[in-house]
């Protein structure tokens, strides 16, 4: 593939519909999506200069897995693109980014319902997870990738066990993922070494679709000295860190009682706010945490993943998105695992973010968290939270349909009755679109879903192999991964 489409390191690609440096429209194009409407950034609006808008009747050209051009149809007569997707009547959006999940937890979907967090961990999830084999995780991850890709989620951040199995599922399915092997202090140094070995070995895998992170589980299962050791490894090996922290207000209170510091202050003391960090949940983030997070965000180091649908289900309150935005911290959207969220539907997360922020996070302000703001969280901020927003970096950039970004695209079919008529595309996307409305999906320039059919994973075969394993998987009498103590 010609390597002419990567902008020089340290530069930002131009916003909005524009030609990339490909030598002109059409030339050397591997994939062309013709005549679609596209969600583009750089048109101002609710989120300032990077705000989102929609460009009608555009072609989207892909060269070498990267978006090379988004703009009016060019002369197509001389160009012979590798593949054409008819985009007429379809809305192209950047592939959705699930900023925090445990893909293989689809295995426990519906197996830990209507319980408090202590029961959820100690009597359901951690006993069941002690049964997991590597093959179980691979089957679960394949099923999860299928669910996500069919709904237009092209990237996910996964934090789990047996991560080589998840990496294989990513390779096979064609998805993009940032993967981290979870570690507890009870694993000792071996847990840290396993996570580091995995991160170094798999970094850049699946043709660059796999990026990796270090994944200490949480400040309540990993001691402060061990968190500091992870921060040192992150610095030494230029790896981000992905962990759970301040998942609930109870955890923040318990942390203050135990250590004299909030979870964010513990992360700061351990040096984790000086390295690229992704904090999952943060519903227990409090006022004194904000200056620390603001300082890290100023250096582009910290993002928070919010899974509001799961919080409603577990009565966890919600991430203080308004305060975090005030502090300049990007907040990405997530589902968490399907055992807590029910499914991996990010469209629902978009809508629930809007509803919850207006009613809870915005303290009863219906003018806060507009549909365009939600879409900014789902695109630009989600990419920033995963440290996948810099087109000049080795990790690459997603979350925008703009030259220099990886060609990850979901094409939404707007013809269904529940989507018509359309007066405001942003509102249609946030409040009416469902996973089943996604017609085609492209990851890294490759069509993986065409006409709502996944081309990469044989889902019936996965389910057939999985079914006989479920009884052993859901036993709760064979030990427990950890004991939850906030």
Residue, CB closest to Zn ion: 336
DSSP string, 135-148: HHHHHHHHHHHHHH
Count of residues in contact with Zn ion, rule CB under 5 A: 1
CA distance 109 to 341: 8
Report in angstroms how near the CB of residue 108 gets to Zn ion at its nearest.
Answer: 13
CA distance 165 to 158: 12
**Nearest residue (CB) to Zn ion, 226 versus 336:** 336
CA proximity to 63, closest of 115, 17, 26, 109:
26
Report in angstroms how near the CB of residue 280 gets to Zn ion at its nearest.
Answer: 5
Report in angstroms how near the CB of residue 115 gets to Zn ion at its nearest.
Answer: 16
**Nearest residue (CB) to Zn ion, 156 versus 198:** 156
Q: Number of helices and strands (H, E) in the chain?
A: 18, 19
441 DSSP β-pair partners: 410, 449
Tell me if 159 sits within 8 A of 242, measured CB to CB. yes
CA distance 194 to 187: 10
Report in angstroms how near the CB of residue 467 gets to Zn ion at its nearest.
Answer: 26
CA distance 131 to 105: 12
* Rounded (5°) CA angle 193-133-435: 100
Binding pattern for the stretch 332-361 against Zn ion, x by CB under 5 A and - elsewhere: ----x-------------------------
Report in angstroms how near the CB of residue 183 gets to Zn ion at its nearest.
Answer: 14
Report in angstroms how near the CB of residue 218 gets to Zn ion at its nearest.
Answer: 9
Tell me if 62 sits within 8 A of 30, measured CB to CB. yes
Q: How far is CA 441 from CA 30, 38, 306, in A?
A: 15, 14, 24
DSSP string, 409-477: EEEEETTSGGG-S-S-HHHHHHHT--GGGEEEEEETTEEEEETTEESS--HHHHHHHHGGGHHHHT--S
**Nearest residue (CB) to Zn ion, 336 versus 345:** 336
Q: Name which of residues 115 to 144 contact Zn ion (CB under 5 A).
A: none
**Nearest residue (CB) to Zn ion, 373 versus 482:** 482
**Nearest residue (CB) to Zn ion, 54 versus 184:** 184
**Nearest residue (CB) to Zn ion, 187 versus 390:** 187
Query: Buried b vs exposed e over 465-485: b needs ≥16 C-beta within 10 Å?
Result: ebeebeeebeeeeeebbbebe
Report in angstroms how near the CB of residue 426 gets to Zn ion at its nearest.
Answer: 29
Tell me if 266 sits within 8 A of 224, measured CB to CB. yes
CA distance 399 to 406: 8
Report in angstroms how near the CB of residue 344 gets to Zn ion at its nearest.
Answer: 12
Stretch that binds Zn ion, among 114-122, 328-336, 370-378, 453-461 (CB under 5 A): 328-336
Stretch that binds Zn ion, among 18-26, 257-265, 331-339, 398-406 (CB under 5 A): 331-339
- Tell me if residue 278 falls in helix, strand or coil: strand
**Nearest residue (CB) to Zn ion, 91 versus 143:** 143
CA distance 3 to 118: 52
CA distance 268 to 292: 7
CA distance 324 to 385: 12
Report in angstroms how near the CB of residue 14 gets to Zn ion at its nearest.
Answer: 36
**Nearest residue (CB) to Zn ion, 215 versus 442:** 215
Token pair recorded at residue 434: 């469902």
DSSP 8-state code for residue 7 = P
Q: Name which of residues 378 to 417 contact Zn ion (CB under 5 A).
A: none
Binding pattern for the stretch 279-318 against Zn ion, x by CB under 5 A and - elsewhere: ----------------------------------------
Report in angstroms how near the CB of residue 244 gets to Zn ion at its nearest.
Answer: 5
Report in angstroms how near the CB of residue 387 gets to Zn ion at its nearest.
Answer: 18
Stretch that binds Zn ion, among 67-75, 145-153, 330-338, 346-354 (CB under 5 A): 330-338
CA distance 335 to 32: 31
**Nearest residue (CB) to Zn ion, 210 versus 218:** 218
Helix axes 134-150, 459-466, angle to 10 degrees: 140
Binding pattern for the stretch 187-216 against Zn ion, x by CB under 5 A and - elsewhere: ------------------------------
**Nearest residue (CB) to Zn ion, 42 versus 303:** 303
**Nearest residue (CB) to Zn ion, 43 versus 117:** 117
Report in angstroms how near the CB of residue 41 gets to Zn ion at its nearest.
Answer: 28
**Nearest residue (CB) to Zn ion, 173 versus 306:** 306
* Positions that interact with Zn ion (CB under 5 A): 336
């Amino acid at each position: 593939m010609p390597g002419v489409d990567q902008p020089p390191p340290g530069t930002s690609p131009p916003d909005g519909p524009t030609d990339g440096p490909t030598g002109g429209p059409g030339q050397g194009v591997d994939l062309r999506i013709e005549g679609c409407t596209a969600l583009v950034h750089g048109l101002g609006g609710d989120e300032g200069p990077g705000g989102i808008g929609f460009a009608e009747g555009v072609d989207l050209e892909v060269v070498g897995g990267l978006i090379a051009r988004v703009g009016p149809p060019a002369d197509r007569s001389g160009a012979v693109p590798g593949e054409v997707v008819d985009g007429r009547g379809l809305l192209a959006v950047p592939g959705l980014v699930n900023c925090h999940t445990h893909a293989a937890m689809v295995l426990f979907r519906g197996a830990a319902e209507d319980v408090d967090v202590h029961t959820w961990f100690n009597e359901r999830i951690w006993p069941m997870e002690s049964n997991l084999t590597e093959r179980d995780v691979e089957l679960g991850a394949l099923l999860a990738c299928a669910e996500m890709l069919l709904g237009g989620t092209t990237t996910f951040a996964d934090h789990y066990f047996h991560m080589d199995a998840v990496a294989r599922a990513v390779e096979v399915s064609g998805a993009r993922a940032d993967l981290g092997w979870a570690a507890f202090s009870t694993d000792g140094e071996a847990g840290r070494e396993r996570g580091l070995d995995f991160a170094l070995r798999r970094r850049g895998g699946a043709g660059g679709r796999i990026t990796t992170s270090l994944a200490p589980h949480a400040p309540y299962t990993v001691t402060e000295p061990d968190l500091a050791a992870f921060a040192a490894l992150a610095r030494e090996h230029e790896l981000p860190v992905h962990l759970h922290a301040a998942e609930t207000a109870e955890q923040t209170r318990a942390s203050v009682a135990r250590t004299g510091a909030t979870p964010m202050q513990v992360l700061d003391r351990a040096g984790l706010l000086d390295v690229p960090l992704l904090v999952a949940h943060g519903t227990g983030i409090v006022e004194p945490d904000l200056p620390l997070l603001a300082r890290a965000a100023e250096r582009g180091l910290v993002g928070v993943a919010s899974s509001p649908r799961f919080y409603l289900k577990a009565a966890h309150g919600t991430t203080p998105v308004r305060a975090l935005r005030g502090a300049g911290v990007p907040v990405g959207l997530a589902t968490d695992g399907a055992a807590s969220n029910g499914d991996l539907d990010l469209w629902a997360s978009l809508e629930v973010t809007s509803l919850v922020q207006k009613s809870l996070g915005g303290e009863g302000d219906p003018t806060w968290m507009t549909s365009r703001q939600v879409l900014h969280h789902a695109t630009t901020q989600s990419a920033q939270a995963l440290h996948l927003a810099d087109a000049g970096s080795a990790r690459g950039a997603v979350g925008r349909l703009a030259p220099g970004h990886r060609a990850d695209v979901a094409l939404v079919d707007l013809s269904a009755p529940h989507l018509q008529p359309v007066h405001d595309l942003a509102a249609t996307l946030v409040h009416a679109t469902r996973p089943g409305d996604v017609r085609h999906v492209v990851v890294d320039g490759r069509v993986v879903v065409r006409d709502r059919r996944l081309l990469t994973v044989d889902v019936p075969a996965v389910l057939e192999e999985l079914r006989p394993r479920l009884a052993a998987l859901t036993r709760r009498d064979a030990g427990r991964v950890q004991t939850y103590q906030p």
